[in-house]
């Protein structure tokens, strides 16, 4: 039931006793009673709403049906609610005078207009680190959304204290136009053809129906979220006009670049340098992963650019099956800088013992294609 919940309107628990419900009504009535707010039709509407809630919850049969079905047992259609006098009211009771628990005061007949419809969506960009994208996180941020006025429920109008004749049609309810020999009567758009204006601009929102409001949003970011992914929070966009539903909140994820890892799908790539000797003879080296460092065996004779795979060490998959991608270690053989004669002599000796035979095939091929 949410905003229309009678228990919320009176500020009591669903298990509250009849006596507690009566006391809650008395505290609110002393603030909104028409007798102490003469001429204030907003207060009168609020009093009508709390009286409606009290009338249901104070009656055992009506309350039982309301708790079961969530609806009022019978339509409440009266020009003015019965007023409870102030006899027996405890004015010494303290309450939150600033709290406003009357978001839904009334329903007005629906009138379709161009600006009615689902509220606008909100797009929010959220930047997270690479580590956070791997592990997931709970984050909190603020957005500004257009929220319906609680007094007029987003319509921008409330029932007028005293209905008056429509000035646009002068109380006739419409205008007559002649087309040839035929007369056409068009209902007045200002009064809906009634000739009477029974509504006035809401004093709280000045007719706008909505107002900007900053709200905090708490969002669960799943592990494995990728740069460019979008998370949608239904109903957290701006409120629509009147009874229209709210739009959605779209959170666009931006993952900050990582100095070690790059991502392609669920697989990760990391370039690891190895020395000339490690590449030639093979070695065991420590390499980083998103969780911790692990030991990797580099095979003898590995070449620069060769990829070594670590299964299940990649990014968490967002598929229903779960699991993780793989981590590919890209080998980068680092050529040593030689400054002394002894090192040069050893490298030349290595070259004589291990000639680069693979280049001979290129030289032979070049001789075959030359004219």
In words, the CATH class of domain 122-153+211-255 is: mainly beta
Report how far residue 198's alpha carbon sits from residue 209's, in angstroms, rounded to the nearest whole number.
17
Confidence of residue 45 (pLDDT cuts 50, 70, 90): confident
pLDDT of residue 104: 40
pLDDT at 183: 61
Which of helix, strand or coil describes residue 36?
helix
- The pLDDT tens digits of the residues spanning 22-40 come to 988 888 888 878 777 777 7
**What is the Cα–Cα distance from 188 to 177, expressed in whole angstroms?**
12
Residue 39, both tokens: 């001429």
Q: Can you tell me the distance from the alpha carbon of 74 to that of 66, in angstroms, rounded to the nearest whole number?
A: 10
Q: What is the pTM of this model?
A: 0.58
Whole-number mean pLDDT of the chain? 79
- pLDDT over 60 (residue 191): yes
pLDDT tens-digit profile of 311-333? 999 999 876 667 899 999 999 99
What is the C-alpha to C-alpha distance for residues 171 and 124, in angstroms, rounded to an integer? 49
The residue among 206, 169, 207 whose CA lies nearest residue 190 is 169
Answer yes or no: is pLDDT of 174 > 90.
Answer: no
Which tens digit of pLDDT belongs to each residue from 52-82?
Answer: 889 999 999 899 888 887 655 444 444 444 4
Give me the residues paired with residue 120 across strands.
none
For residues 31 and 293, the model is more confident at 293
Boundaries of every domain in the chain: 1-106, 122-153+211-255, 157-201, 261-353
Q: Residue 6 pLDDT > 80, yes or no?
A: yes
Q: What CATH number is given for 1-106 in this structure?
A: 1.10.287.110
Average pLDDT over residues 138-161: 82
* pLDDT tier, 137 (very low <50, low <70, confident <90, very high otherwise): very high
At residue 2 the predicted structure's pLDDT band, cuts being 50, 70 and 90, is very low
> Phi first, then psi: what are they for 2, rounded to 5°?
65, -120
Range of 117-126, 183-192, 259-268, 336-345 with top mean pLDDT: 259-268
Q: What is the CATH number of domain 261-353?
A: 2.60.260.20
Task: Give the alpha-carbon dihedral of 141, 144, 150, 155, to 10 degrees.
Answer: -140
| Nearest alpha carbon to residue 293 among 315, 310, 316 | 310
State residue 80's pLDDT score. 43
User: What mean pLDDT comes out for the span 335-342?
Assistant: 88
Whole-angstrom distance, CA of residue 216 vs CA of residue 306: 48
Helix (H) or strand (E) holding 133: helix 130-135
pLDDT band at 307 (very low <50, low <70, confident <90, very high): very high
CATH topology of 122-153+211-255 equal to that of 261-353?
Answer: yes
- Cβ contact 292:134 at 8 Å: no
| Total H helices, total E strands in the chain | 8, 15
pLDDT at 330: 96
Phi, psi for residue 357 in degrees, rounded to 5: -70, -25
């Amino acid at each position: 039931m949410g905003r229309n919940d009678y228990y919320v309107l009176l500020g009591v628990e669903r298990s509250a006793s009849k006596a507690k419900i009566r006391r809650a009504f008395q505290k609110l009535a002393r603030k909104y009673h028409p007798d102490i707010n003469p001429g204030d039709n907003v207060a009168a509407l609020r009093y009508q709403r709390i009286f409606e809630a009290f009338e249901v919850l104070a009656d055992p049969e009506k309350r039982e049906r309301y708790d079961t079905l969530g609806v009022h047992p019978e339509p409440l259609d009266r020009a003015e609610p019965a007023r409870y006098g102030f006899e027996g009211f405890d004015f010494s009771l303290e309450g939150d005078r600033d709290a406003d628990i009357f978001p839904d005061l009334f329903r007005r007949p629906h009138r379709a207009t161009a600006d009615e419809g689902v509220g606008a969506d909100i797009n929010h960009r959220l930047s997270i680190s690479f580590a956070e994208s791997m592990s997931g996180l709970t984050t909190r941020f603020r957005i500004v959304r257009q929220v319906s006025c609680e007094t007029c429920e987003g319509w921008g109008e409330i029932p007028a204290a005293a209905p008056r004749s429509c000035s646009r049609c002068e109380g006739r309810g419409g205008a007559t136009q002649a087309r040839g020999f035929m007369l056409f009567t068009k209902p007045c758009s200002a009064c809906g053809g009634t000739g009477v204006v029974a509504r006035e601009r809401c004093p709280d929102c000045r007719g706008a129906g909505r107002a900007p409001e900053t709200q905090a949003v708490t969002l669960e970011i799943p592990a494995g979220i990728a740069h460019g992914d979008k998370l949608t929070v239904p109903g957290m966009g701006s409120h629509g006009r009147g009874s229209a539903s709210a739009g959605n909140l779209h959170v666009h994820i931006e993952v900050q670049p990582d100095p070690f890892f790059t991502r392609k799908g669920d697989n990760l790539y990391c370039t690891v340098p190895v020395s000339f000797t490690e590449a030639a003879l093979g070695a065991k080296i420590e390499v980083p992963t998103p969780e911790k460092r692990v030991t990797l065996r580099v095979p003898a004779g590995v070449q620069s650019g060769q990829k070594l795979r670590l299964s299940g060490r990649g990014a968490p998959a967002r598929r229903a099956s779960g699991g993780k991608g793989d981590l590919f270690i890209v080998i980068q053989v680092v050529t040593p800088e030689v400054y002394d004669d002894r090192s040069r002599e050893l490298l030349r000796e290595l070259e004589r013992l291990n000639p680069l035979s693979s280049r001979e095939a290129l030289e032979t091929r070049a001789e075959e294609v030359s004219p």
